[in-house]
Structure 1
């Protein structure tokens, strides 16, 4: 087993700092970034030193991840907007972004392969993941239908109450009023 990369030995706080610095420097300026990182390591009393090449390798990998995440996020946002899921996207953004990022990365890796290099298991899991995401849309549709039915029921109830009030004031019998109400509500009198 190969030894861990030096970047993987960084404390979490410094790894986050490195990631932010890579983004802010446009994934470049590796010599200055290596100097800044090693200065921080020294100030923190750590003996670990990381060279420009190690930071460059990590930076390239991280840049690829960031771009894949941005592409997946843009795709997800477009898909959500196309399907009228803006509010749901706000509530489930983190989970959905994680799933779409993973799906996008798997799709990208599979698209670069040829014939016998393609792992059928990865495609199976990708299909299952996408099916689950799509089925959540079905759940959303069911919830929206239930909401539409609730609104229609409440509207009918308000209308029936208004008609009942006016019918009674017009002197209709209780039986006639109940018949009209039942007709509006769609129930037997």
Structure 2
């Protein structure tokens, strides 16, 4: 098993600075990054930084591509029911499951557990939104129907406003 990358052992704030610097420099200038890290007390050669940078750039590019494709899908097929989000959630769940099966004990279980928990929370939020959306549509439809019925009755026999409000309340389940 190869030794662990020196970049992955950097403190969180130094690694965040390095990642930001790589993005800002368009994944170039590894010699100057190596020199800057040396000034900060970390000895990492330009080759190791380049290797890390290539991997990071590939992951970033894949993420950008996926994001652009998702935006294109949403623009091409608006999804008020949340079916796309539900499908994506299931795909991610499947990938995490496959990762666990293929990992053979080499998987960062806390990270996977956190991802699963966040997916679950996302799914619950999605279901809650769908239920609220459907309820709002039903209520809007019921209010329109109640208005139509009371207007119809008012026009026929001169119903009072009090009776109209009572009938509307009954129709809307508020009486």
> What TM-score, normalized by structure 2, do the two folds share?
0.59
* Residue from 25, 43, 52 that aligns with 1:58: 52
Moved over 6 A (4+): 139-143
Figure out how many residues of one structure are paired with residues of the other and give that number: 136
Instruction: Kindly report the root-mean-square deviation, in angstroms, between the aligned alpha carbons of the 2 structures.
Output: 4.2
SS for the counterpart of 2:63 is helix
Aligned 8 A contact 1:80 1:86 in 2: no
Alpha-carbon distance in structure 2 between the residues aligned to 1:146 and 1:84: 20
> What TM-score, normalized by structure 1, do the two folds share?
0.55
Larger radius of gyration: 1
* Residue from 145, 149, 153 that aligns with 1:156: 145
Q: CA deviation at 1:14?
A: 0.9
Query: How is 1:21-60 mapped onto 2 (pairs within 5 angstroms)?
Result: 21-39=21-39, 41-42=40-41, 48-60=42-54
Q: CA deviation at 1:165?
A: 3.2
Residue 73, structure 1, aligned to residue 67, structure 2: yes
Alpha-carbon distance in structure 2 between the residues aligned to 1:60 and 1:85: 36
Aligned 8 A contact 2:153 2:159 in 1: no
Alpha-carbon distance in structure 1 between the residues aligned to 2:78 and 2:28: 39
Alpha-carbon distance in structure 2 between the residues aligned to 1:60 and 1:5: 13
